Copies of this chain bind each other. A is one copy, B any other.
Amino acid sequence: MNDRPKIKDIAERAGVSVATVSRALSDSGLVTAETSQRIHALARELNYRPNVSARNLRTRKSMSVLLVVRDVGNPFYLDILKGVEATAREAGYSVLMGNTENDPDRETEYFNMLRDGHADGMILMTGKLPPPGHDSGLDVAHLPVVVALEMIESSGLPHVQVDNIAAAKAAVEHLISLGHRKIAHIAGPLPEVMAVHRRDGYRAAMQGAGLAIPEGYEVRGDYLLETGQLCCSQLFALSEPPTALFAANDEMAYGAIHELRRLGRDIPGDVSVVGFDDLYLSKAFYPPLTTVTQPRADIGRTAMSLLLRMLSGEAVGLAPPIVLPTALSVRASTASPRQ
């Protein structure tokens, strides 16, 4: 390990100074073509690779970014990660994974990693900032941070998102247009912003159609399969159960469908179900799930591009949020109600 060649080794063999080697290797154009070639040849021969710690220390950069999510185990993030990774590596950046599991200490920890040079920037998908006070010195708005998916109001940070309200509204309007009147909502973990927005979209659609939301028609889940199931069983214990369900994400929709089947209800014959996210499996699900398609890879790419612009010194903080389009993918889990 210790025998790794360094710039000095190349310099000695090439009969030049370390400065010249550094310049040649960085293609600064300040070195004679001939010398440069000789140095490059030598570097290849010795299988030279610059030591990143040394370079990072000197340049005050790490060439890596932090991707912070609430739960790395959630399949929802896969395509986003993929988009981020691709864009990052094109620009020579590595991606460090951050996983908060809603633990404020860990959220703070990742912000600290920005300060200690671990990473140059961060894509934040937790919808949360570290609790103030703990880091009184932290001027969040001027940190190289892009907020994706979620919204952190009045943080001054740039955002990449989708219009959750409009998308949810369109999803519920689809149910209404099929003739449904008794439509319930399995919400996300309120009062998180995204969950609130999707619920507000539901409410807006109902109100727009002049439909009242009966007591008990809004149940709160946490985006997981199990709560989808649970919420669904609550809804169907009501004296007047719904004929259609709008779940705040696909996973809960899967859980709900699972439960409906257990209760002997046919989908979409007895009950229609709409999800949100369009996980890659939703089209292979039975029945194929009607859901809101989000451009996840695009969200990842866009967020990373934005971050790159910030890292190159561009001021993008005060620009309006970038809103990417969604689309309702109508599949076989929705139909007109019976009778």
Contacts and interface: CB of A to CB of B under 8 A. Distances in A.
Contacts of A89: 99
A54 interface: yes
Interface residues of A, number: 49
A96 interface: yes
A82 interface: yes
Contact of A85 (B99, B112, B254): B99
Task: Choose among A54, A113, A116, A257 the residue with the greatest number of B CB atoms under 10 Å from its CB.
Answer: A116
B94 A95 contact: no
A46 to B, nearest CB: 9
Contacts of A284: 225, 254-255, 257-258
A62 interface: yes
A115 B64 contact: no
Majority secondary structure, A binding face: mixed
A127 interface: no
A79 interface: yes
Given A117-B53, A135-B47, A280-B225, A96 B64 contact: yes
A318 interface: no
B82 A49 contact: no
Interface in A35-90: 47, 49-54, 56-57, 60, 62, 64, 72-75, 78-79, 81-82, 85-86, 89
A8 interface: no
Contacts of A258: 284, 286
Given A53-B57, A57-B51, A78 B72 contact: yes
B57 A85 contact: no
Given A49-B112, A286-B285, A118 B99 contact: no
Question: How many copies of the shown chain assemble into the complex?
Answer: 2
A29 interface: no
A263 interface: no
Interface in A85-114: 85-86, 89, 94-97, 99, 112-113
Contacts of A94: 96-97, 113, 118
Interface string A179-192: 00000000000000
Interface in A235-289: 254-255, 257-258, 261, 280-281, 284-286
Contacts of A117: 51-53
Contacts of A60: 53
7 contacts: A47-B135, A51-B57, A52-B62, A64-B96, A72-B81, A72-B85, A75-B75
Given A52-B117, A73-B79, 10 more contacts: A52-B116, A53-B60, A57-B57, A72-B85, A74-B78, A75-B75, A75-B78, A86-B99, A225-B281, A254-B281
Interface of A: 4, 47, 49-54, 56-57, 60, 62, 64, 72-75, 78-79, 81-82, 85-86, 89, 94-97, 99, 112-113, 115-118, 135-137, 225, 254-255, 257-258, 261, 280-281, 284-286
